[in-house]
Each structure stands twice: as structure tokens, then as C-alpha cells.
Structure 1
Amino acid sequence: MAGAALLAAALTACSGGSGGSGGSGGGDAKGGEAKKKDMAISVNLTGDQVKAGEPVKVTLADGKFSLVKVTDAKGGELPGRISDDGRTWTSERNAAPGAEYKVEAQNTDSQSASAQFRTTAADKVNKVAIVPGKATGGTVGIAQPISLVFDNPVKNKAEVEKQLKVTTSNNTEGSWGWFKDYSGNDRVDWRPKEYWKPGTEVKVQMNLNGVDSGSGLFARDYNTEFKIGKDRRLEVNLDTKTMSVIEDGRTVRTIPVSAGTPGGKKASWSGKMVLMTKEGTIRMDSQTVGLGDSYDKMVDYSMRVTWSGMYIHAAPWNAGKFGRVNSSSGCVGMSDADAEALFAQAQIGDLVEVVGEGSKGQADIGNGYGEWNLSWEQWKAKSALNGAPQAG
């Protein structure tokens, strides 16, 4: 192989026939068997300054492989497979940056050979922010997607998506979809075809170590796991100025609310959204969301619905408007008592749907979790792998 070092492992010569000694290669019918050639392998990556981000390929000079093992200094093994002709082994994953590897091989004649190489550190590392993560407590609502946001652009979207695996306890069908996050960064989410079924257990493996994103290598793998909790849906009706709390298909509470003021920037977003975070008591400043000096106050029982600042929260200053007038600056406000009770019940990932007249339309897909506003066919088309769905 061009540019590859040829590595031979010295082996003990085969014993000769009766009264003979090891042959030297020509073969002698009277003196014994011919000496076998030493096993020789070549590796596409050799030396101490190897660039990471490509598969490891091991080639046998003669004969067939019976075993090839490539391990890093921590004992981690690169998975791979031997070709049909037995002459080549190729890793299924790329060599990771800043790692030492040992190659050990055997052929069908029980001979062995080995090699070593060291990869250089990545010039630029791409990292991932993952939701759901530890902050969710391990249980989320039926509308929560899996969401990955990258700190550097992902140009090789198909190569990255191939390394993402979702496994569920009930073979949930879903698909990855690429778009821009509200931050402007590249983002890929995995959404089920339908809302999650309560009790579903989900594991996500992101085998990204050594994968080239097109603007930096990944330098580690990632994983997360979570479980789906109660089927809870929060439906805000702008016409009736109420929020219905629906659990397992049954309305358990109806809360008088005051949503965003119709007809301008202070209107509420509409459509299907997801309860993103439960932030509790926070400072809300209208200047941070482009609404001038409208407000600057501490707000209790705050639950985020969009990155742009739409919340569900307590709004005691608006008590006379609940159930009567939509007059907030875009959020859905209610009494302290109702907000406290809802905050205690609600879970991250619950569906939030706003219906009725007077909204400012649907938020962009990356402004929170807006993928539920797309049809299944529209969502699948956002996959980098030809829109092919995955069964988890």
C-alpha cells in the first residue's frame, strides 16, 4: 500500500520431517515442509503524527485474516470488518484525534503481526449541546424531541447523521431533521412520527469521536437516555382566554388566562410548541426581547415555551383580565395559585398548543421546538439521509 509501512512479525519456522530441519523456502519433499513466509501487514495510518478523521485500513500481504483488533490506549476497540476475500480489514469508525492505537492481527495459519500509530490533536473541535440532558431529571413529556445543537457548522450532515442512533423500548418510529437553531447554529432534532407513548424508554448514542463535521472534528462520543412521563397537553385558547390541562385524553383543569395583546409584537405565538424549561422566579426585562420599556419585574412560576421569550407564568398584576382580555406582552399569564399548581404538575416536554384568533403566527421551527407544526412527510424531508425514517 502506498505510503504505508510494511510490518512483519518474526515467527518460528515449521518443523521438518523425520530427521530434518526447518526449510528455507524452496521446499524439499525429502527434507520436510517449506518454511512459511512471515506474516506481513500494512496499515494506512502509521507513525506518530497521523491526521485523525478517517477509517483505519489494515491489509494482509499474503493469505487471509482470521482476526484484526485495533485498540486505543484506554482499551477501547474500533469496530471493523474483514473483507470477503480475507485480505483487508476496515474500521467502521474513524480514528479519533489525539489517540494512540495498537493494531493486532492474525491470519488463518495462526501467525500474528502488530503495528502502532498515534493521531494528532484536532485543529478545531466541534462540540454538541444535548436535550434532553441531565437537567430534565430523566423524565420528559410526550412532545419532547431529541435535540442536538453544534457549536461549529456541520457541513457533512449525512456523515454526522449516520453516527446518531436512537433506541426505544417499543420501536418508536421517528426521523432526524436539520435546521438552524434560534442561536443561528446548526441543529438536528429527532422527532417521533406521533407523540411519544408514556413509559417509553429512550437511549441515544452519538458515535461522533473522530467524525469530521466539515468545520472541525468531534473529539468524543456522546450519549443520553430518558423516559417518557404522563401524557399531558396544555391547550391555550385565545378566543375563550382559557388554558385546558389535558391528561391522558381527559381535561382535568380549565384555567382563566390572559395571553398576548393581539395585533402586533405583543401577540402570542400560536401552533404546537413544547414546554422547554421550568425556570421558576426570574427577572423579565422587555428590553431583552425588543419591547422597549414595557416591563422589568421578577416573575414567579415561569415556564419557557420559546427562545424568544414566550412563557407561561404567574401574572397577579393582570388579575382583572384573566378569562376576559388578552393583554399581556406575549406570555400566557394566570393567577399565583393556578401558576403554582401548574408549575408543580407540568414536566419539561409537555405539549403546549395555542389556538384561536389574534396570534402573530407560528414561531420559527428553531425558536423552541416547533417541529410538531410540520407534517410527517415535511419533517422526514429534513433528514440528510434522503428523508429516510428510523425505527428506534
Structure 2
Amino acid sequence: MSRTRARTTLRTTALAGTAVLTAALTACSGGGSGSSTGGAGGDGKAKPETRISVNLTGKQAKPGSPVRVTLADGKLAQVTVTDSKGATLEGKVSTDGRSWTSVRNAAPGTGYTVEARDANGGSAKADFATAAPEKVNKLTLAPGKNTTVGIAQPLSIVFDHPVKDKAAVEKALKVTTSNGTEGSWGWMQDWSGKDRVDWRPKEYWKSGTKVTLDARLNGVDSGADGGWFVRDYTTNFTIGRNQVVKVDLDGHRLKLLRDGRVVRDVPMSAGTPGGEKASWRGKTVLMSKEGTINMRSETVGLGDAYDKMVDYSMRLTWSGMYAHAAPWNAKYMGSANRSSGCIGMTDGNARWVYEQVQVGDPFEIEGEDAKGTQALNNGYGEWNLSWSEWQAKSALR
């Protein structure tokens, strides 16, 4: 019995805006009455050609839609779509086996190779490229990768350009936690004026929780004036010690609680009540530990009231509210609020607090000696909203 090596011939033509690929296949032929595989059946007729169409064609295909591969006859066995960097698009074959659709969209400025195989062993291949984006949107993530943060730290994303299609962007953001923590995204305008979206849990994180963000944004359009995303982003972090800093503005005390127990209770002096020098109240979040910094009153709209080098500085808001060492105000600590808005402590107490706290720890500030509640975007103010109020800020609600 003789065998001939299978030969595949591919033909590409244009039809109604799609790439049509035809594979004429000749498989092994064997002797014997009534038996056939490949190019000729028992009646001597040629086997049908494999015909596949792809919805995106040419070198300037419009990005932002899934890749769809359709088979004219028979059933698809496998489709692989590979981009110019070697990454593949995941996809699914339809229940009838006639088509395949990618899960994600084709990204802008990217070349793709489509390889398809049908159930009879026929194969076809096509190439296309998407048009380059006129504008690219990028983002900044917090917290940073592989960090350990406090129980109030939200995931926070600030975008370089406006995000008009917030729902499309939010759908691409996947948060995974090690213990199934419930949470929600909420949109706002950042203090900088840029669009921002944060993810906070329903309640404070549990210590030890591991969190991963998979922002599968490559190929997502921000909408008008925003531009396209041309890459994915990831970050991961772990929740550290369960500790809360409680600040009593009226009692002039600061307490550090760990696992619900008071570790230390120190006297402090907060902002002078009755005007712009008063402190903010509310549940705020330690944004950063900045050490020794120069604080100048004109940067927060208080004229030339002060210009000092300040030690053990812990930022609580974008508007300039800190907890820090304030030895010049020692006589008021524990008895009166006489600062320019910050929470001041002695050098020794400020140093101890600075060494103990973690970025992401909540500072729960209470009392009447305040100028109001911290705004949502003035740092991380989302804990001042009820759970239902926060959920309402999602673009998918």
C-alpha cells in the first residue's frame, strides 16, 4: 500500500470586508473498495475546501473589538491568535463549532497572526494589524507592588487622561483576595483634578489578607479625549498588623490600638478651632511616612505663618494635614488645640508613633474642634461614606 504526503494549499481573498482563507487539503489515500480519506471520497468527488473568515483585516484595522473567526463548513477544532509580542488572545469556540471569538479586544497598534484548524485537520492562517492610537492613557497605582500596608488602605488608580467610558474600564479591573473580601470600586476626581477610581472593602481589611489587582486594560478605550490603554497592569500587596490610631480632638489625646487593645496613649495638640487652622475630622488613612520635611504655610493658604523643618511627618491628607513632632507647641499638648491644622506631639512620642504605624493605617479623628469632615478625594476619604454610598460610586451599579 502506498501513501502520499499531505499537502496544504492556502488561498486568501477579500470578501465583504473580511479575510477569507481557503485550505485545499489532500490527506493519505488508501486502497480497498469504499474507503477514502482526504481529497477524494468513495464516489471520486473532491473533498470540500476549508473556508475561514476573520472580521479584522489589513494593516489599519479598527482596534477595540474582539477577534472573530468563522468557519464556512464543518467545525473548528482550534484557533490561536498571537500578537506581535508573542502573547495570545484567549477565546472560545461557539456551541455549534462554526465560530471562535476572543475574550479580549484587539489592542491598538498591534500586529496579530490568526491560525485556525478544523475538525478534519484543515488549517488556515491570516495576519492583520490594528491602527496606532492617537492618544495613549496611562495610570498610577497605589499601593506599590509587594508592599505591606494597614487595614484601611484602598486600591487607588489615578489616570493620566479623562476616563469617559468608566464602565468599560471598571470591567477590566479584577481584584482577587486570599479570603474572599467583599469590596467595591468607586469613582471620583482626584485632588490633582484627574479621574481616579478606588477599591475599598466593605469593612477594614483582615490582617494577613493577600490582595492582587489584575488590570486587563490593553485594548480598552477610555472614551473621548482619554485615549487607549496599550498595556495591562498588576500590583499585589499584603495587609499588615491590625492597628488603628484614634485621635480625640476635644480630649487632646492620640491612642494607638493594636488588635483592639490600647498600646500607647499620648497627649497632642491639634489645629486651632474656629477657622482654617482647625483640623479635619473623620476616618482618614495614613498616606505616607515622610520623615523630616520643610513645612511652609503659604503652600496651604495660610500666608507666612510658619516655615519649619518638621520631624517624623506622617501625611494624612493632600491638603497638608499631618501628624508630626511639634516640640514648639509642647505646653498645649494634652490641654488645647493650638496648631495650624496638624496633630502635634513631643519629639519622643512622635518618633514612637512614626516607628509603629504603617502606611494604610486608619486615623479615626473625632471631636467638635474641627472645620468639617475630610473630603472624599483629599487623600483617602472613602471610609467616611456608608457602604451603600460607596457602592453607588461604582460605574457598574
Q: TM-score, normalised by structure 2?
A: 0.92
Q: Is the 8 A contact 1:14 1:35 kept in 2?
A: no
| Aligned counterpart for 1:143 among listed residues 152, 162, 185 | 152
Cα deviation 1:81-131 (Å, max 9, x = unaligned): 111221111111111222221111111112111111122321111111100
Give a deviation string over 1:27-77, Cα, whole Å, max 9, x none.
Answer: 663xx4x32222121111112222322211111121111111111122211
1:342, distance to aligned residue in structure 2 (A): 1.0
Match of 2:353 in 1: 342
Question: Given the alignment, which residue of 32, 55, 70 partners 1:59?
Answer: 70
* Secondary structure at the counterpart of residue 49 of structure 1: coil
What's the Cα RMSD here? 1.9
Alignment of 1:134-213 (within 5 A): 134=145, 138-213=147-222
SS in structure 2 of the partner of residue 337 of structure 1: helix
Please list, as runs of the form range in 1=range in 2, the aligned pairs for 1:52-131 lying within 5 A after superposition: 52-131=63-142
List gaps (5 residues or longer) in structure 1: 387-392
Q: Which has the higher contact order (CA 8 A, sep 6+)?
A: 1
What letter matches 1:191 in structure 2?
R
Amino acid at match of 2:259: D
Amino acid corresponding to residue 68 of structure 2 in structure 1: K
Alpha-carbon distance between aligned partners in 1 of 2:216 and 2:350, rounded to the nearest angstrom: 41
Task: Kindly report which structure 2 residues correspond to 1:266-285, keeping only aligned pairs within 5 A, or say none.
Answer: 266-285=277-296
Greater mean deviation of Cα atoms: 48-57 or 160-169: 48-57
Distance, in Å, in 1 between the alignment partners of 2:314 and 2:244 is 14
Q: Give the counterpart letter for 2:274 in structure 1.
A: G
Q: Distance in 2 between matches of 1:324 and 1:192?
A: 36
Given candidates 6, 11, 23, the residue that maps to 1:9 is 23
Q: 1:13: how far off?
A: 5.1
Q: What's the % identity of the aligned pairs?
A: 63
The 2-side partners of 1:195 and 1:19 are apart by: 76
SS at match of 2:59: strand
Corresponding residue of 1:247? 258
Write the deviation string for residues 291-324 of structure 1: whole angstroms up to 9, x where unpaired: 1111111111111000111101111111111111
- Report if aligned partners of 2:19, 2:126 keep a CA contact under 8 Å in 1: no
- Counterpart CA distance in 2 for 1:35 and 1:283 is 84
Distance 1:240 1:294 in 2: 26
- The superposition leaves residues 240-259 of structure 1 with CA deviations (integer Å, 9 ceiling, x where unpaired) of 10101111000110111110
Question: Residue 11 of structure 2 corresponds to which residue in structure 1?
Answer: none
1:310-349 alpha-carbon deviations (Å, 9 max, x no partner): 1011111111111111011111011111111111111000
| Structure 1 letter corresponding to 2:29 | S
**Following the alignment from structure 1 to structure 2, what is the Cα–Cα distance between the partners of residues 333 and 178?**
33
Q: CA deviation at 1:20?
A: 10
Q: Is the 8 A contact 1:258 1:332 kept in 2?
A: yes
Deviation of 1:356 (Å): 0.9
- Residue 5 of structure 2 corresponds to none
Q: Which residue of structure 1 lines up, in the alignment, with residue 57 of structure 2?
A: 46
Q: Which runs of 5+ in 2 are unaligned?
A: 1-14
Q: Contact (CA 8 Å) 1:15, 1:22: kept in 2 or not?
A: yes
- Equivalence for 1:304: 315
Are 1:237 and 1:354, in contact at CA under 8 Å, matched by a contact in 2?
A: yes
Is 2:248 the counterpart of 1:234?
no
Contact 1:166 1:205 in 2 (8 A): yes
**SS of residue paired to 1:324:** coil
| Partner Cα distance (1:343, 1:287) in 2 | 26
Contact 2:154 2:199 in 1 (8 A): yes
One-letter code aligned to 1:175: S
Number of residues of Structure 1 aligned to a counterpart in Structure 2? 381
Q: Which residue of the partner structure matches residue 337 of structure 2?
A: 326
